[in-house]
Structure 1
Amino acid sequence: MILPFAFRTIAAGLFLLESAKAQPGDANSCTKLANALPGRVYLPGTPNYTSLNTHRWSNTSILTPNCIVTPGSAQEVSTVVKTLVGDGTSFSIKSGGHNPNPTFNNIDNGVTVDLKLLNEASVSADRSYVTLGAGTTMGQAYDTFSNESIAFPGGICDGVGVGGISTGGGQSFFLPKLGWFVDNVLDYEIVLASGDIVNANQDSNSDLFKALKGGSTNFGIVTKVEVAAFTYNGLWGGQIVVPATNATTQQVLKDFTDFTAANNDNVDTAIMVVGLYSPDGSRIIDVGLASTNDTENPPILAPFLALQPQVLNTIGHKSLADFVHEVTQPMPDGYRMLTATLTFVNDLETLTQVQAATDVIYEEIKDSVPNLDWMFSYNPQPLAMMAHAAARGGNSLGLESLDHDQTLYWLVPRWTDASSDAIMHAAAARWYDEVGKITAKLGTADPFLYLNHAGYFQKPLCGTGADNVDNMKTVARKYDPQEAFQRLVPGGHKLSTEC
């Protein structure tokens, strides 16, 4: 019997989740690490183990590693890697813990490498770049620099970690003006499977430098990055929240599509639209918007500022740190969550039909999932964002030949009961199937899948194109010839299994 695509997709995904459970490896790895790194290893049943294990954005990522190790330097990461690779022990890598895919930042049985102590956030003497440890979160970095009159094009959510954003892409409110986070990385410090600590930049290991910019955890553990920075004193922006009536929703969809096209000529503005359908029946649209050069009321934002009736309006002058803290509020920790994404040509009819399909799936499952918050977001990706990659050696996102503006749609619902997991994951797979059919029918499909928003059943690396995949595989063979980071780190998107 040939299964429908959605069910084949979810079945394959569930198989991958099961197979991602750690293989036994060397049962003594935790003991070896505890002896080599006193005070850095935490075992089940201890308070620190519990607090470290549960400190994640989504409860779907709370698993049961044999131990958690918290290296405090690149040298200690090297010790950890050499021990685990030598023993053949499976492990996971946690930076900020902001990915809800099970096993992507945690593991059952094996070892979780928690980078929380790699939390450097400093400004260079000439103020041209900042240095960020891989365990630093965006919220921590923005707070550190809030009184420094300096900024960098970092993530939009507080809890996003540097390790993930620096290898996945990195959206920000500076995307049209400065490109992706990875386009602004000047240098990676990374620990390879051999335990060697190397730097990757345009002059040294330049092939690895490019591959890391979108290649995820296929090459090693990034321990810190240097990111181009600029003088910055704040922005004008905030949130506008309106009820998600049919009329208002359609208006926002039109305004969003118009904004995305105009964003190419108005690169100092940005928006992020979040929809939230709550268990009490209320439905809202939350528009996060910013004039990143601190200019009040730029005309391109006028349609959003005019939306009525406004349940909330927080528009004003504020620091980047305060703004990011504010727009993160609709996505707190403590729920079970999933993530899935699709990108398509910026087109009103497509966005309208995608939204309608998203609503249909919600209506079908809402009474079967207690405490369901059906949340989704759409973000503009104007063509202007690609003007910045080549200057620093390119990236591996697969957008170098892009000839159109994009809409990035993100499905990110949340719920509370693990008994609802199967319903939710099946709904996500069906959503991906249905919206894919819509974009194919309308001729607006786009292969790009943002890696940091992709579900475990999706294949974002394949969406970067054959040339990028071949290049990343070549780089992986060079720097990790035994494929340790593809074999022993079951979480994340893998070159050896996806493409």
Structure 2
Amino acid sequence: MSFVQTIRSSLYFFFVTSAFLFNSVHSVDTCSTIARAHPEISTLYSQLVEYNVTLKDYWSTACSALKPSCILLPRSAQQVSDILKVLGQNDEPFAVKSGGHSPNKYFASIAGGPLISTKLLNEVNYNALTETVRVGPGNHWHNVSFAMQGTGRNAIGGRMGDVGVGGYLLGGGLGFLSAEHGWAANHILEAEVVLANATIVKASNTSNPDLLAAIKGGGGNFGIVTSFTLRTFPQDNVWGGIRLYTGGNTPALLAAIRDYTENNKDVKAGIIPTAEVTGANFVNIWFVFFFYNGPKPPKDVFAKFMAIPSLVDTTKTRTYDDLVRFNNNFVIRNSIYTIATETMPLPNATVGAEVMQGIYDTWHKVATSVGRVPGAVASIAWQPMPKAIIQASNQYGGIVLDLDDSADRIIIELDYSYFNSADDAQAEAATVKTYTDIKDKVEGYIEAGKLPDVHLPLFMNDCYHRQDYWGRLKNKDRYMAIREKVDPEGFWKKRTKGFAI
């Protein structure tokens, strides 16, 4: 064989071998590899009952309808690391699921790729000496509130107990205790995190402090958190429940919301006023969720709301756990739903009625356009964001969501729910139009001098998948640098969906 023939033969062998190895790497099936190499990790396939039970644990049936190739159930950080080592050998898209609250498809759900469910990472261990609680991301908040009963302490968690721990904390976490203590994420003291390269690290003020800062509202861009150690606060019985009002009380309720956001100085109080339109007849109702961190609120705290006649009143003294479980009754089940958000400055009393009604009417106009969609319910929640919450947050170092305390604000949550996937396009169009029109309305009021011109970032936990969470922040560059440090190859951005930085 000539020298040239030898070289050609060698090159042929090299390319054939390289092609084989390349295709072998990219054809690695995560599910079968884990099942074979790591039998200690539960691997569920579609023929198993538990596979379908896990998929039903989503708030939106659009997420439940996506069928992963398998569901992986790690029990430890090491098992999460083992899964990521396998994923590092292929290019399969995957998803990580905590409580299934996000209705954004592919954020915590997947079709065709593996789903990592954290449901077995479900510890709730209270340390009385340090007054901290170590919580696994697979919990729902009612698991935490139940476990904390009898300790005299509590962590800031979801206002509905069925919200999952993982996504809530990584998105910032707004709770009933936020006026007193800031965002829930402010109180992550330590986290166990599995990075993109499968390394297990601790994030705290003394170890990887930048990573700790980044997970406080930075979403799933920095790793898989396998446990959170949270600061707790004294907790006794609380007062709360809902009052149901007719749509005819809208002007009075909008006035009460505006006044409460500006003038309430009792940080133990909290509200979630929510207007809904439902059905072809466009039935208009309001649910107002009330909370007071004590057995009974002073009469003046909710006076303007109590002066408005209600159809139903369930407010009473109860345990915190009982309240968040009661609020679970208002989670709409067996429907597809979407969620979106916008942030608005609070109008002053002079123009308050005009501005609040203008925002409401902008929402209502789009909401009624989907009234004849089967099962349609449109809602708008007005979440007060007074300066007190930001001031409390800043005392603990702040979070990724960089609101300042220059103004009182309202974080608006927008939801549409409906029965059939055939109506997805109409619901998507309505969702986009709603938050776009409200944003335009807010900007118009700012331009007209009827609202102050202040920083208006978005709240990640309520963002629609098309909204630009990172683009609305001033401090994006800081977190991009941290992401480059812990994930230089952009693993999470390439392989998962979410609000990627």
What TM-score do you get using the length of structure 1 for normalisation? 0.90
Matches within 5 A, 1:388-467: 388-399=392-403, 401-443=404-446, 444=451, 446-465=455-474
Cα drift, residue 391 of structure 1: 4.1
Task: Tell me which residue corresponds to 2:10.
Answer: none
Q: Partners of 1:97 and 1:84 in 2: how far apart?
A: 22
Task: Tell me which residue corresponds to 1:494.
Answer: 500
Task: Tell me which residue corresponds to 2:44.
Answer: 42
Q: Deviations over 1:346-402 (max 9, x none)?
A: 1233332111011111222212x1121112211101111122334444321112x34
**Which residue type is aligned with residue 369 of structure 2?**
E
Task: Tell me which residue corresponds to 1:271.
Answer: 271
Cα drift, residue 461 of structure 1: 1.8
**Which residue type is aligned with residue 59 of structure 1?**
T
Q: Flag the 1:34–1:173 CA change in 2: closer, same or farther, 3 A.
A: same
Q: Partners of 1:30 and 1:394 in 2: how far apart?
A: 39
Q: Deviations over 1:201-260 (max 9, x none)?
A: 111111111111111000100111111112211111211111111xx1111111001101
Are residues 1:114 and 2:117 paired?
yes
Q: Deviations over 1:39-71 (max 9, x none)?
A: 511122322222212221111112121111011
Task: Tell me which residue corresponds to 2:263.
Answer: 262
Cα drift, residue 190 of structure 1: 0.7
Matches within 5 A, 1:8-407: 26-38=27-39, 40-62=42-64, 63-126=66-129, 128-245=131-248, 248-263=249-264, 265-279=265-279, 281=281, 282-308=283-309, 310-347=310-347, 348=352, 349-367=354-372, 369-399=373-403, 401-407=404-410
Q: Flag the 1:262–1:127 CA change in 2: closer, same or farther, 3 A.
A: farther
Q: Partners of 1:26 and 1:114 in 2: how far apart?
A: 23
Q: Higher relative contact order by CA 8 Å / sep ≥ 6: 1 or 2?
A: 1
Task: Tell me which residue corresponds to 2:4.
Answer: none
Q: Partners of 1:407 and 1:25 in 2: how far apart?
A: 48
Q: Deviations over 1:324-343 (max 9, x none)?
A: 12223222332100011001
Asked whether the equivalents of residues 337 and 412 of structure 1 are also in contact (C-alpha less than 8 Å), the reply is: yes
How much identity, in percent, do the aligned residues show?
26
Are residues 1:479 and 2:486 paired?
yes
Q: Partners of 1:398 and 1:243 in 2: how far apart?
A: 36
5+ residue gaps, structure 1, are: 1-23
Q: Secondary structure at the match of 1:413?
A: strand
Q: Partners of 1:298 and 1:385 in 2: how far apart?
A: 22
Asked whether the equivalents of residues 202 and 393 of structure 1 are also in contact (C-alpha less than 8 Å), the reply is: no
Q: Partners of 2:295 and 2:132 in 1: how far apart?
A: 22
Q: Partners of 2:466 and 2:331 in 1: how far apart?
A: 22
Asked whether the equivalents of residues 343 and 411 of structure 2 are also in contact (C-alpha less than 8 Å), the reply is: yes
**Which residue type is aligned with residue 188 of structure 2?**
V
Q: Partners of 2:494 and 2:408 in 1: how far apart?
A: 37
Q: Partners of 1:59 and 1:45 in 2: how far apart?
A: 19
- Measured on the aligned residues, the alpha-carbon RMSD in Å equals 1.6
Asked whether the equivalents of residues 291 and 298 of structure 1 are also in contact (C-alpha less than 8 Å), the reply is: no
Cα drift, residue 27 of structure 1: 4.5
Q: Deviations over 1:100-149 (max 9, x none)?
A: 01111111111111000011112113251111101111111112223332
Cα drift, residue 316 of structure 1: 1.2
**Which residue type is aligned with residue 480 of structure 2?**
K
Q: Partners of 1:134 and 1:181 in 2: how far apart?
A: 14
Q: Partners of 1:278 and 1:45 in 2: how far apart?
A: 37
Q: Secondary structure at the match of 1:338?
A: strand
Q: Flag the 1:427–1:25 CA change in 2: closer, same or farther, 3 A.
A: farther
**Which residue type is aligned with residue 334 of structure 1?**
N
**Which residue type is aligned with residue 135 of structure 1?**
G
Q: Secondary structure at the match of 2:121?
A: coil
Q: Partners of 1:317 and 1:69 in 2: how far apart?
A: 41
Q: Secondary structure at the match of 2:301?
A: helix
* CA radius of gyration, larger in: 2
Q: Partners of 2:490 and 2:392 in 1: how far apart?
A: 31
Q: Secondary structure at the match of 1:276?
A: strand
Between the two proteins, the alignment pairs up a number of residues equal to: 463
What TM-score do you get using the length of structure 2 for normalisation? 0.89
Cα drift, residue 86 of structure 1: 2.5
Q: Partners of 1:31 and 1:432 in 2: how far apart?
A: 43
Asked whether the equivalents of residues 262 and 300 of structure 1 are also in contact (C-alpha less than 8 Å), the reply is: no
Shifted more, 102-111 versus 125-134: the winner is 125-134
Q: Partners of 1:364 and 1:395 in 2: how far apart?
A: 37
